[in-house]
């Protein structure tokens, strides 16, 4: 919010239920239903479909004026019945939107009632599992919606372990619980790393197939892939949990830690050199395995590329914005590259964001003094960009109006990217992801400044003269 405005203008976040859809869509045979007004599901389906270029079905209980006045009980039950009949899911994630929360519907109670009426039990093997999540957007953002949904899923499946909170059948696996901003290739990359190190692992949620499916003649009603339900139920038996993101709290990891005494490790999203190093070092610590040669070579290639492009990136002033954990890792990478992130911002309200960004600057480039903002909208980001005068913007595609108005290039990273194709194919994590990001940033800067071609352009002036003579 700017000083001149008491309202949010173009939020730098997305709605909380959208985060829950991102989480539920990474689970096998799962359908999402929003309890609220129709427009919420239309808007969020559009956002996700534009970003991933995949069909995204999200049902709605479609509350109208009547539901808003008398409560949405009947609409929700009808919606659940329709979802079961049309999609035949094993799991239904029910996320509330603003209206349902404002009128105060007791969603867990309505679901209990519905299950009794329909004769749906609690056996995850036989029955449909319905998981409610409270996600009004006036509270928080898609970041917390994702976190809350995953916690609700892990809790619900852990219930099948009974009242007694104890590891029953140790499986020796490693749980990985990521953040909302990963792309399908990011998930594939992390799974490959886990395959090469841990061997046995459970990745929740897995959007690698559900949001990046091959073309098929018979489009399934629910996208294939996602974390198998049997694996989610097995998570409390794992040896440890690994959570991505340190700015936002990973509630599913915390739950497993507190309820099952499971060791839980939270690490930054492995973007850039040092954060990918941290990811591997934690894996080595937990598993006691060496870092596979393949990744050591990839690290060497990244270092080589960083040396190659250092002369183009050093001192380039950047503005980085987006989801808090994404911005945290991106900023670290900018500093490693010798860039000067003059403005670091997130749309989420976060108590620890400023302190953590300050720590990173203190460790890598203490002489720099960035402007760090949280809870901003694009209106205030625009003001901050005007004050800080960055030469490049790095963030999601909603910053394109600022970039265009100010003639600054924008490198599209994060969620959403809906004005370009290929967002579902952008790899950002791991050493390979860092290399790809490095190339994109450097080439954008070269394109904008002509740094690379400037020395070569000294000669064509002579050609200009020749051309002129010939023309004459
Ligand atoms: S702000 Fe609330 S009512 Fe509006 S689209 Fe988002 S969830 Fe729906």
pLDDT in the model for residue 467 = 46
Atom 2 of ligand 1: nearest residue by CA position: 98
Among 137, 144, 148, say which to mutate for ligand 1: greatest number of ligand atoms within 8 Å of CB. 137
The percentage of the chain sitting over the pLDDT mark of 90, rounded to a whole number, equals 84
Q: Is residue 326 domain-shared with residue 259, that is, in the same domain?
A: no
* Of 286 and 6, more confident: 286
Of 120, 135, 161, which residue sits at a domain end? 161
The answer to whether residue 55 is domain-embedded is: yes
| Same domain? 313 vs 364 | yes
pLDDT digits (tens, 9 = 90+) for 455-467: 444 555 555 554 4
**Same domain (yes/no): 263, 320:** no
Q: Please give the sequence-ordered ranges of beta strands (E in DSSP) within 392-448, or none if there are none.
A: 392-395, 410-412
Q: Is 381 in the pocket of ligand 1 (CB under 6 A)?
A: no
Domain boundary among 161, 183, 199: 161
Confidence of residue 126 (pLDDT cuts 50, 70, 90): confident
Residues 427 and 309 in one domain: yes
What pLDDT score does 451 carry? 57
CB-CB neighbours of 427 under 10 Å:
18
Answer yes or no: do 98 and 187 share one domain.
no
Last residue of a domain, one of 106, 140, 161: 161
Region 165-171: mean pLDDT is 76
43 lines ligand 1 (CB under 6 A): yes
CA-nearest residue, atom 5 of ligand 1: 40
The answer as to whether 34 is a domain residue is: yes
**Domain housing 384:** 294-449
Contacts of 321 (CB under 8 A, 6+ apart): 12, 327, 343, 344, 345, 346, 347, 376, 381, 393, 394, 395, 396, 399
Q: Is 76 in the pocket of ligand 1 (CB under 6 A)?
A: no
- In this structure, which residue's CA is closest to atom 6 in ligand 1? 15
Instruction: For residues 99 and 221, state if they share a domain.
Output: no
Do 263 and 241 form a contact (C-beta atoms < 8 A)? yes
Provide the angle, in degrees to the nearest 10, between the axes of the packed helices 273-287 and 430-449. 180
- 318 and 406 within one domain: yes
Q: How confident is the model at residue 141 (pLDDT cuts 50, 70, 90)?
A: very high
Q: What contacts 372, CB < 8 A, 6 or more positions away? A: 344, 345, 353, 354, 357, 358
In a domain, 1, yes or no: no
Query: 5 pLDDT band (50/70/90 cuts)?
Result: low
Is residue 471 scored above 70 in pLDDT?
A: no
301 within domain boundaries: yes
458 within a domain of the structure (yes/no)? no
Same domain, 368 and 236: no
- Choosing from 7, 11, 14, 15 the residue with most ligand 1 atoms within 8 A of its CB, the one to mutate for a pocket test is 15
Mean pLDDT of 65-94: 95
Q: Is residue 145 lining ligand 1, measured as CB closer than 6 Å?
A: no
C-alpha 90 – ligand 1 centre gap (Å):
27
Report pLDDT for 118.
Answer: 93
**pTM for the predicted model, two decimal places:** 0.93
In a domain, 272, yes or no: yes
CA 162, 168, 170, 171 torsion: positive or negative?
negative
Tokens of 343: 């403005």
Distance CA(207)–CA(209), nearest Å, equals 6
The per-residue pLDDT for 2 is 55
Name which of 48-52, 67-71, 99-103, 453-457 the model is least confident about. 453-457
Instruction: Give the CATH number of the domain where residue 214 resides.
Output: 3.40.50.1980
Domain-located, residue 48? yes
Both 372 and 298 in a single domain? yes
| Tally of structural domains, the chain | 3
Task: Establish if 386 belongs to a structural domain.
Answer: yes
> Does one domain contain both 402 and 357?
yes
Range 111-115 average pLDDT: 96
In short, whether 44's Cβ falls inside 6 Å of ligand 1 is: no
- Is residue 247 domain-shared with residue 311, that is, in the same domain? no
Q: State mean pLDDT over 76-92.
A: 97
Question: Do the Cβ atoms of 238 and 265 come closer than 8 Å?
Answer: no
Interval 21-42: pLDDT, tens: 999 999 999 999 999 999 999 9
Mean predicted confidence (pLDDT) in 435-459: 78
Domain match, 256 and 301 both = no
pLDDT digits (tens, 9 = 90+) for 259-300: 999 999 999 999 999 999 999 999 999 999 899 999 999 999
75-103: average pLDDT: 96
């Amino acid at each position: 919010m700017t000083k001149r405005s008491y309202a949010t203008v173009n939020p730098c976040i997305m709605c909380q239920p959208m985060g829950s859809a991102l989480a539920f869509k990474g689970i096998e045979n799962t359908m999402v239903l929003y309890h609220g007004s129709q427009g919420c599901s239309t808007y969020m389906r559009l956002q996700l479909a534009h970003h991933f270029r995949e069909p995204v079905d999200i049902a709605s209980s479609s509350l109208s004026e009547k539901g808003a006045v008398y409560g949405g009980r009947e609409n929700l039950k009808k919606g659940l019945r329709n979802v079961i009949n049309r999609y035949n899911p094993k799991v239904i994630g029910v996320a509330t939107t603003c209206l349902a929360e404002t009128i105060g519907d007791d969603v867990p109670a309505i679901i209990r009632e519905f299950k009794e009426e329909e004769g749906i039990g609690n056996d995850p093997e036989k029955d449909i599992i319905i998981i409610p999540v409270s996600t009004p957007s006036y509270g928080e953002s898609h970041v917390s919606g994702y976190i809350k949904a995953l916690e609700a899923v892990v809790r619900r499946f852990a219930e099948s372990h009974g009242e007694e909170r104890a590891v029953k059948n140790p499986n020796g696996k490693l749980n990985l619980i990521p953040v909302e901003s990963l792309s399908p290739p990011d998930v594939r990359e992390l799974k490959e790393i886990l395959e090469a190190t841990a061997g046995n692992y459970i990745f929740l949620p897995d959007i690698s197939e559900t949001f990046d499916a091959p073309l098929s003649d018979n489009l399934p009603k629910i996208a294939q892939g996602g974390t198998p339900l049997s694996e989610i139920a097995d998570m409390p038996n794992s040896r440890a949990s690994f959570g991505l993101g340190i700015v936002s709290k990973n509630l599913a990891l915390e739950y497993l830690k507190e309820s099952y005494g499971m060791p839980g490790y939270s690490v930054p999203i492995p973007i850039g050199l040092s954060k990918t190093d941290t990811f591997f070092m934690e894996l080595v610590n937990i598993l006691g395995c060496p870092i596979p040669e393949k990744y050591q070579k990839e690290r060497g290639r990244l270092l080589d590329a960083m040396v190659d492009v250092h002369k183009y990136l050093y001192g380039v002033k950047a503005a980085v914005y987006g989801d808090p954990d994404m911005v945290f890792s991106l900023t670290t990478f900018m500093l490693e590259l010798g860039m000067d992130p003059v403005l670091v911002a997130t749309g989420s309200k976060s108590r620890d964001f400023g302190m953590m960004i300050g720590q990173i600057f203190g460790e890598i480039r203490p002489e720099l003094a960035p402007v760090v903002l949280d809870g901003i909208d694009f209106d205030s980001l625009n003001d901050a960009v005007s004050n800080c005068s960055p030469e490049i913007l790095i963030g999601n595609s909603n910053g394109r109006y600022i970039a265009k108005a100010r003639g600054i290039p924008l490198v599209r990273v994060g969620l959403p990217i809906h004005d370009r194709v290929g967002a579902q194919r952008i790899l950002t994590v791991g050493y390979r992801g860092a290399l790809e990001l490095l190339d994109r940033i450097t080439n954008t800067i070269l394109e904008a400044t002509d740094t690379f071609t400037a020395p070569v352009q000294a000669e064509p002036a002579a050609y200009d003269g020749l051309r002129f003579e010939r023309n004459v």
